[in-house]
Amino acid sequence: MTRPLRSNFPRGSYLWSVRNAQWQALGLSEADCEKPKIAVVNSSSELASCFSHLDQVSVVIKQAIRDAGAIPFEIRTCAPSDFITGAGARGGYILASRDLVTNDIEVAVEGAQLDGMVCLASCDKTVPGQIMAAARLNIPSLIVPCGYQASGEYKGKHVDIEEIFIGAMHALTGHLDKEELVGMSREAIRSPGVCSGMGTANSMHIATEALGMALSGSTPVAAMSEAMMQDVRRAGARIVQMVLDDLKPRDILSADAFENAVMAVLAVGGSINCVKHLQAIATEARLQIDVYAMFERLSAQVPVLSAIRPVGNGTIEEFEAAGGSRALMKQLRALMHEAPMTVSGLTVGQELANAVVTNAAVIRPMTDPVSSRPAIMILRGNLAPDCAIVKTGIVERTRRQFVGPAICFSTSDTALAAIRDGVVQPGQVVVMRGAGVCGGPAMGGGASRVVFALDGMGLGEEVAMLTDGHLSGLVCKGLVLAELSPEAATGGPLAMVEDGDSICIDLDTQRVDLQITEAQWTERRAAWRATPPLHDTGWLQIYRANVSPTGKGAVLIKTE
């Protein structure tokens, strides 16, 4: 032992005695009780394929921890899956669950004063929730990405969860036979793991490695593959050494590390949800940095180097085979900060020294990018004084400015009905509000469904859309601005828009503006009244009362 462990107490003291009694009953000897104690954070669940394999992973990593001379203690958290957990409260439990994961971990790990933790990361809210907890507790921590699912084939064509999501909205608008959708849904997922495209989960797995919080070379990876299980065994051994070395998250999570993560997300045209998740991690790490401003600044410097679905036609399997995150960072090396430490105990530069790009057609060099225009942009303006986010993708837009009359909706159900009934017309700007962190609550409200319904009606490129809600990481359709802040439920500018108002979106100036007079602004602000909150009980009531704005990461801690 190279240093005292916080989990150990004087022999015969109250805390020592009661813990010894409990752990002896679990089969641990007195000598075992003196070893490093590692939390294995497991979000296993039989509700969703995202988490169905984690119990098997836990068995392997616990043995690796024992083999390295420490004692593993498995703890559980909630296991949110967008496509399962999103059924209740208009999807309000989805984002709210991220912070519940963080607090679950705090209660178990900090309450027991364990020495370190490995977190089995899967679906997209567990990843940031676990890193947020690591940043908050600041004990040796390592994230273990547990892989992507195998997609399927239906009638000779590729099908995955993205096609099901899109297809459901196409069926709603009458543009896809429901029996076709049923057939597709039975073939879309053929293994455990996260969504197989470059959605939020795979984007956050990649960002985690770029942050230095996952072992180099571990993302992305096919769930339950031999490559993944090798990473799992490596992680079990490595966390024990991290505890002995006292290598903690805040030794790793520097401002430069966040810039590396931002560049990695931009280079794959990743999910816009990464922006608020990375900001939340920075806030929990007590870093005074603005991740939104990082995306705004770095988007002009970082080209898109890989076009994986839904941004392009490439597959996540091709991305992994081409070298994965290590290869991506190798191609970005001219921009990457090499000094930040990683969980391996090596710096980013040391890790990248031997990185290899095995297919430069899949992960391209900066001299030959997929697109020199950013796939993610931050916009501001009088409708988004704090920010708005748009995923432009890699499509070269000849129409860089969109000006049109607003058509406003307060729920996704009314918007979907209007789309289906032909009320929404080409040239309009669809405004869907009341879907922010307070209004949703927790950004529930189904903004993504509205986007795919517009696509199903052939309006995806004929209208624009603004929402204070968030979008699924699988959304890359049309001109859609999300997470406008401040949100409508708190009296943000989006609440003042009326049907027929002219709205201008300009990608070149990165602005979104409502074209009304100052007198109209003043009159509407004076007349505005907050609407009664929806789903204001239980956990969602606690969340709504304590959540910070998205610009602070929508965390449940004081940010001022």
Q: Which of 472, 485, 502, 548 is catalytic?
A: 472
Measuring CA to CA, how many Å separate 453 from each of 232, 456, 457, 480, 503?
A: 40, 5, 6, 13, 21
Q: Cα–Cα–Cα angle for 334, 141, 335, nearest 5°? A: 5
Who contacts 135 (Cβ-Cβ below 8 Å, separation ≥6)? 249, 250, 253, 281, 282, 284, 285, 286
Residue 546 one-letter amino acid: N
Token pair in block for residue 294: 């990082």
Of 234, 217, 221, the closest CA to residue 192 belongs to: 221
- Show contacts of 539-544: CB within 8 Å, 24+ apart: 539/93, 539/96, 539/100, 540/89, 540/92, 540/93, 540/96, 540/441, 540/442, 543/96, 543/99, 543/441, 543/442, 544/437, 544/438, 544/441, 544/442
Identify the residue whose tokens are 């795979």: 202
Q: Which DSSP letter does residue 169 get?
A: H
Q: Is 45 a catalytic residue?
A: no
Phi and psi at 391, nearest 5°, equal -100, 100
In angstroms, the CA 503 to CA 493 distance is 12
- Give burial (CB, 10 Å; 0-12/13-18/19+) of 372: exposed
How many CA atoms lie within 13 Å of 62's alpha carbon, on the beta-carbon side?
A: 15
Residue 151 one-letter amino acid: S
- Measured torsion, CA atoms of residues 335, 550, 121, 214, in degrees rounded to the nearest 10: 20
Q: Which DSSP letter does residue 549 get?
A: P
In angstroms, the CA 236 to CA 38 distance is 9
C-alpha radius of gyration, the chain, whole number: 24
Of 378, 336, 358, the closest CA to residue 485 belongs to: 378
Residue 377 one-letter amino acid: M
In angstroms, the CA 538 to CA 521 distance is 36
Token pair in block for residue 140: 């040796």
Measuring CA to CA, how many Å separate 476 from each of 118, 391, 397?
A: 33, 6, 13
Of 370, 204, 369, 197, the closest CA to residue 272 belongs to: 204
Write out the DSSP string of 411-449. Answer: SHHHHHHHHHTT-S-TT-EEEE-S-STTTTTTT-S-HHH
Phi and psi at 272, nearest 5°, equal -70, -20
Catalytic sites, residue numbers: 472
